[in-house]
Amino acid sequence: MVDNDKGKAYWNAVLGLITKVLVIWFLVSYGAGILFAPLLNNFHIGGYPLGFFFAQQGSMYIFVILIFWYARKMGEIDRKFDVHED
């Protein structure tokens, strides 16, 4: 019974992390690139409107950062539940 509870807690932690990653992904790709673009276009980065920057390049930077953040957090979850690789 203890292993089953530990397994459920592990998957709840993993699903919580995946949910956070997908929400950030959605906000950056769809939100900043499309929904909030008119508002973000009031600001400029390198001479380009911020909404355009996120739609073309900024989202890729955020996605790369998100990959490393996910890997670090997943490693922390694995160590917490003692399912990490040595």
- Per-residue pLDDT tens for 41-65? 999 988 889 888 888 888 899 999 9
What is the spatial distance between Cα 14 and Cα 4, in angstroms, rounded to a whole number? 15
Q: Report whether 81 contacts 2 (CB < 8 A).
A: no
Kindly give the interhelix angle for 2-26 and 59-80, rounded to the nearest 10 degrees.
170
Flag whether pLDDT at 31 surpasses 50.
Answer: yes
